[in-house]
Structure 1
């Protein structure tokens, strides 16, 4: 709802507008059609150099044409993704047609060529899917950088606060996209994590053993032998052994846990857990999430858990009296309190 109040600056009446262009994006009340038109016009003008380079199939190769498309056309769409994500598939149809035309130019295909085949050939997503994935990645990064406004919006949605339904259309659309991609569990800071009181002791023993030299300088066979000797020192009767690891590739991050539960008479079972966590996460954060998955698995088993972690920074974070991270570190520590 727009207020009718009038504003003046140095005796000059300020003009009221429904949209405002800021850093190449149109911001306003509700959906601003100018943003799609603006992005489309910029991208259309960049199709001509692409046609010149292709020269009807006699110019540069497909890999170079694809790189030119990604750097000059799709980069504009990616930049506008946080605004364009609130539009429907029908609204984004002009940008989808634009990419289809670019694919025909790159591959030299006629207009009768199947869109799905061209996408597979060039390893491209649909514009709608690309916009939403880039937007989700951007929002996750902003939330992890402690953007209070986004945190408030997301927490209202996650906790089911009635005030969520009074949010504007963009906020509702944003939460719907995050929900569709099922990223609340790992990409949003963990809710309801309270600092550990200093007088409360923890039922855990963290042991850190360093190698004589850096891991990458050791022979893989020597590392394997050292690890086998290490785990042979721990009991294998009515306990749980968990092997935790985190991985970061570019902007993507994930975790992997191998859990081996031992019973009497040498019987054991094995379970594997692998999950994707928030983009732009550090390797330490990925390791901590792997530890948290291990703790969640064994919390109701009534057995001792022996975890093996190859990240010294993650172990130091857990061993600190004052957690440096109010989210995942506190959540891990709260699972093994007495």
Structure 2
């Protein structure tokens, strides 16, 4: 059997196989599946829960919400709703894709009095999608045709990339970065360096900022700008490039804009960019600067390499995420709305965890580890036996009898020392005499789990006490 807990395939490989064969078919049939009642999809939900337990090698006492968060697999019903809502948003953004469907959805959102007659399945689809869009308060704009300048007037951004990669040593990256900036700046009589950065937080808050020592600070100082929530990362990066270019044009300065986003710089020269509005505005400023004999160049640098100015603008961008959202901001890209729809599908997991957190020990245990994504590797190799031990340590393994809190159940003894009612995670980690000397004592269970999740410590424990892996 492939997911055998001793000799089977690793957890990441098992998840990839499952996602490739089962959810892919469900996602393809989402427009049809959303038209049937949720109760009819319950067998699919139970099947996914069973598969997640098999992949992780965990017992029935593990909470479903923990497994969903670990696998990043929301409930099937929510995933189907998210896919169909994204498809609907694309149709609303480009009505030419499905004119009749787009018109029906807009009537449902605005609650128009005259509504076309639909079949039962169609009514359920329209109702479900409309509730999601109204709940997100997402105003989906109709795609607009942005006029482009003639090809002979369209400027070609001059972009220079630092000849390094993130795999190189940070000291080498920093040296090559300084050499690249110095080489590009030497082409200006009086160079002006402007650093820019964008930030996207895990809760959807977004902001951007610019900073320069060669330019007078604005009246309010070098303060970032808050963007609409759930903006895409590329949109944040392009927004800060727009601020940098417009600021240099307003001051009539030529110089270098330093950026650490390759995707944003590549979007400036892309002919099929989904962020055409922001890109067009940047190119318009570049054309305006060219007409006034201004020369603006772009340099890509790797991030977090110890450059003081780069770290300063990074901190400003993160602080901008906490600013109050302005009344008028540049409209976000359409991908921002799609990201919000995807994020909404994962909210059901958090809602389920919040409901069960008070009574569930395993959820409170997993809250300590869930934001540190684990790669399930042992010295670069994914081994099933170690994967299962890691998964149980992370998810908070507790036997069924211990979770139930019953006293009149058969006594489950420890597999190592034979102590009755010792088949629990806290006994193995804190009290079992067989592992005495292998684990630190007089510490909390969470600290012991952190200690064991360091693969070197777990290798020593499994080598000296191999039965620990089967607990």
TM-score normalized with structure 1 length: 0.48
Q: Who wins on radius of gyration, i.e. which is larger? A: 2
| Greater fraction strand | 1
TM-score normalized with structure 2 length: 0.38
Higher relative contact order (Cα pairs below 8 Å, separated by 6+ residues): 2
